[in-house]
Structure 1
Amino acid sequence: MVNLKDEFYKIIQTNEPVFDFIQAFALEGVWYWDLETPHHRWLNTKCYALLDYQPDQIPDWQGLLHPDDRLVATHWNPDQLDQTDFTQEAEIRYIHRDKTIVQVKYRRWLIRNPQGKPIRMIGAQTHQKKKTPAADEQQVLNQSLLGNQSIYVAKTDLSGNYTFVNDYFCQAFELNRIDLLGTSALSTIYIDDHGACQEAVIQCLQEPGQVCKVRLRKPLPDGQLRYTQWEFIAQSSAISQAIELLCIGYDVTDKVRVEDDLSVLMSTTREALLSINRKGILRYVAPSWSRLYGYGVEETMNESFAAFIHPDDLTGWVSALNEVTEWGVSLAVEQRIRHKNGTWLWSAAQVSIDLLKEEIFITSYEITDRKLAEAAHQASEQRFREIADNVDEAFWIHSADPFELLYINSAYERVFGLSPPRVAADTTFFLETILDEDRALVMAEFDHYRQGQEVMVQCRVLSIHKDIRWLQIRTFVMRDSQGLPVRYIGIVNDVTSQKEKEFVLQHSLQREQELNQLKSQFVSTASHEFRTPLMTIQSSVDLIGRYLDFPPDRARPSIQTHLGVIQKEVEKFSALLTDTLTIGRIEAGKVPFMPRWIDVPAFCESLIATHFSERPDERIVHVVIQGTPRRAYIDDNLMSHVLINLLSNAFKFSSRDPELRLAFGDHQLMLQVIDQGIGIPAADVANLFQAFFRASNTVGIQGTGLGLVIARQFVELHAGTLELQSEPHKGTVFTILLPLGSPDPDQALGEKVTYYI
């Protein structure tokens, strides 16, 4: 059969926290000896009860050892432990409170560390045997008792005068023995306790052999009071056989102060102490239960504790109770307790079990205010999250020190395309979505933000839909009473639509400004270009009118001359109107585009022969062809207008022959018009393709400022480009680049398609 006691103490050897359990619930007197300190102490009240004492009544347990056993019991030799037979019971003698000798048998167990070295000894007292000491042994015991350095011993005669005091009495009360002997014992007692002392003495004299207990106070020089617990015994003097009073006392000052503090604490504590059995029936109820929940002790004793628990919390309570009783663990439980007035109060309870007594202890304290505050906080937080997660703005909250992300709402993911958990790990991760052009600006503002400055910045990000969105980021700083930052708040708005409207307005404004400038230029040009031919025509008409009065043979040559002038000015006027109307058609997208496959060299030679041959100054256009000539898919009407304008300008602004260079590539045709004329100032190049703009060095030279604008538009209709390079006094090069791709020339020859662009 298994010895349960031995098995129990095996557990002790491997589980030191069991000491606390032993101290409270062991059935025997248990002690332990620390071999490394060395230090010895009794673990529970059973050791003290063996000798009829309370723990607070015996400051030094060694004083209760029999003098002959004291040396053996207080000097263990660790080197001899391995030779000690711990299977045998040992014996030791103590002095009982009634001055008899108590012979105790006990067993010992060694606790070793992982290396096998003994570090602690545990003992369990098994039984006792009392015996009356012999006369010589009684004298030894009396001497031991009188010399004890933890007990006050005094004797008085029937008049109440001291006849004996031990050294510890004199030492503790700071009095001289010579001064005390023969004086009244009442002189060393607080005046308010004289009555209680006299009543105890009278009781002793009336009941010889009985111990009378009384607690007395002694005033100290510093004004404080020393509390002592006394036991009076009336006995016959060994010398005179007269009746004397033996007084034995213990210092309980610290205990009284603790009791007073505990009394105050228990009068204000919000804890209720309870105990129940395994069936949940209340076996003990502290008075604090009544104060917290309104029930009297008699109303709750022997009632089921579950009857006071809210129905919604019963499942949790039963589960916790089963776990405590099955596994012997201690659990914390929160539940609602019904007050006597019908209301429900929240309580937090610590539940533990005494396995030996099978009693369950509950320490419960009220937490209603805390739970209400938590509920209010949760409701507030829920309202906050409902609002925060349904607004269009993304926002976050940072702590100042340390700089940590505390909260970020779900809109952040919609705006930046990043989930909040990933952002929480790296507060700068959102920068990956910002376009490179804006990242440096945002990083600089982010540094200001970390330093506690409020910032506002606009930037572009690549959204989760791979389109570019404009964001406006604003930050705010929450400060404490000293003005130090405690929270940083950031708000992000998607301002893409606003930016688009701004761009439209800006473009419209720019377009309006261009139209106004165009209008001004048109008015200025019209006042000059339109008025000049009209004035010339008017002048010729007036002269013709005068020549009509001359004889026909004389007037006819002059009239013919002026008619030619009129014809020439009308042609200029017509060309100006044509260019102006062409600009209007281009702006309205109504220019017909009719490309076809043509022989480019032949087309250029025909154009030059028609418009630039037989010039009065005998200048010609030099044509240069590079590469293998090919047909091109172009609108010959529009391209004729472009080349005529460029070659006309080359003749107009240069005194030397211009050059037309044709270069054929695999997929591209390049046409260049090169002159060695006056060139174009660098400051005018950027504006040269604006309507009615003319270079600053063309004053006095006829022109409208529309030719190059029309030429570029016609080239772009061919999906080509028109560029220029110029240097004043050295000439200008206009370069046209046109694609030479599909369709197949063999299939498209002779076909003509019209596009309106």
Structure 2
Amino acid sequence: MQALPQLLWLRCLKSIIDFSPLTVAPETSVLNAISLMTKQSTQILVVTSSQIVGCLTQQDILHLLASGVDFKTTKVSEVMHTSVITLKLSEFKNMATALSLLNQNNLVFLPIVDSQGQLVGTITSQSICRELSQPTSDYDLLVNHQKAKLDHEAVLETTGIPVFDVEAKFQNITACKQAESALRETQQQLQAILDNSSAVIYVIDTKNQFLLINRKFEQLFKITQDQIIGKSIYDIWSADIADGFAANNHQVVAGNISIEAEEVVPHEDGLHTYLSVKSPLKNADGLPYAVCSISTDITDRKIAEESLLRFCQAIESTSDAICMADITGKPIYVNSGFTELYEYTLKEFQAVGGALTIFQHPAQLQQVLMTIYKGEPWRGEVTMRSRSSHIMQIYLRAYVIKDTNGKIIGTVATHTDVTQRRQAEIALLVSQQRLQYLLDSSPAVIYTAKASGDFGGTFVSENVSTILGYEAKEMIEDSSFWASRIHPEDLPDVFTELSKVLEQEQYKLEYRFLHQDGSYRWLYDKGKLLRDDTGNPLELVGYLAEITDRKQLEQELRVALEKEKELSELKSRFVSMTSHEFRTPLSTILSSAELLEHYHQKWTEEKKLTHLRRIQTAVKRMTDMLNDVLVIGKVEAGNLEFKPKSFDLVAYCHELVAEMQLNFNYQRVINFISQDESASCCMDNKLLGHILSNLLSNAIKYSPANSAVKFTLACENGQAIFEIQDWGIGIPPEDLPHLFESFYRAQNVGNILGTGLGLAIVKRCVDIHQGEIFVTSKLEVGTLFTVTLPFNNRNIS
């Protein structure tokens, strides 16, 4: 039994070594090394012929990123650390040796080498702690033996009746003493290892009483091992804290499994959160008799995560592109705006190397990083490129993210696409320069005026009649002539600005002025104050130029920009609709065609016909969608023809209802009600079909299977009034204002097929008929559409 501790330690030492550590060759590119580190570790060994020649950490990668190194062409050997702390296998006597080296040198892992210096494997603090929670069967035997011996002695002392004969199990008292000595030696070594750990480690029996704690536990709760052994967790913590520990311990014991749990622990400065790895300690029969807990304080991380989560929720709604990265530069979050702008999802952006991929000029990225890591925010315009190589001007705002202790834990950047704004500004600037040239090269109205009061004109050049239609004489004779013809909305601003002329010496005005023909013209009015030799104000001198064209151009540019924005949104909706709605029928066609190709010789005609019908149905679905797109395209282009003709409206509705029920395989009942047996009208039956079929199909699609659709027709005051009532899912109130927009669908439609074009087509067709459409709806109750159309549309053009 004396050899048992040595054998036990040798077995434990072997079990904590990772014999397949993460390694790369010196000629490996830094980009490939980063890819491996991202997936597996925060540090990597560089090895040649099993000899360690260096190492590389994520912190090194961050510094390389800031210095602008090209990761694709740079080799690991050019940037690695050549000095690596190792431990020879022959010197690896116990876990305390390895744990001490890890803690003293702040190592992620400790390489183990043989006598020739060749790499054997690596050890980490986690592997040591993990082994401590999995005792060997020999160790369990000693513990069980010791417990049985103590229990036997206690019963014997109390009652005088031996429970069992321990010595008969071990043959003689000498063997028992040797086992006890080995156990004490093992326990001492185990305690030394536990005390060297930076984690909080403790062992609790199945009654939640402490059996063992390490030094970190003693320091944290200011209690010694002698004071706590045998006490319950309820003696140390309040009931609400202890209940959480007890529940987790019960889960470990009851399930005989290891778990990870977040536990709240009281500190002097408040409650902290610990991540605890709890494992059962088992006896020789494999039954748990205690729980070993290894706990690490993750309070700072939790605070950072919660703060980051709140931040993410806030920025997900913004239209700007947002990207966050960790301290190594690896992207950890992008919002939907980023994905839309740069065409990368988070995983795709991580895979291509992050920020380096989208910066058109790497030097700009280096400048941004150097600024923010000095603790200063970075703001400015940069040139970016999307996944499809689209070049954009971006207004970038970048900052570092810090934890509660002020430590930098990552970065966040906001990207605003200003490409269109820049183009618009350039266009506006060109327009202004062009107009300025015209003003400088063309005659302008030159004038002088009083320097105060009503600022009435004292001189006006004769060409005023060409620009404003008035004679110069009438503008001078009436002192209030000029002020009385300024647009009432502009007059206060003009006089406010002129009241400052004594201080500012000059002025520039833009205002609307009443032309002789009764229209208002925009004027550019620029002048300065003249003074006499003693400094007293004399008069104002300046010139007037008409800038109506420029103002109209500015307005047109603003309208054009708004139109471009609307077209962009429409395009996004169209792409989203087609990619979603076309996928299902195309998949159906492909799968059925492939099945027919490979199995047609084995199938019956009925089964072949089933798949052919599936293909026909899918093609019809796609055809209907394309027809909707073509119809809405004709409407937008103004090419939708209106051809009214006379027909019986009641008979038309009966035929339409029959056709609709047939198309939907009689899955819903359409109850058509008309006050009249017949009603002659003059309408475009094709456009009327678009209106009614879309409304009826929507009522059917969004109604329960066992419900009916009510369709009524009333003829009153020269109008046809159609009402289509369903008892389906209803329309959310916030969606009602957008209901007739192209490609718009309510947020509660779920997986129900649709393009978002039906109601847009309905609205256009109703407008062409010079009719009206109304909708009332209540969620989960139903929807009522009311359409009124004139009976006689013969004169509508």
Q: Name the TM tier (shorter chain).
A: 0.3 to 0.5
TM-score in terms of structure 2 length:
0.38
TM-score of the superposed pair, with normalisation by structure 1: 0.40
Larger Rg: 1
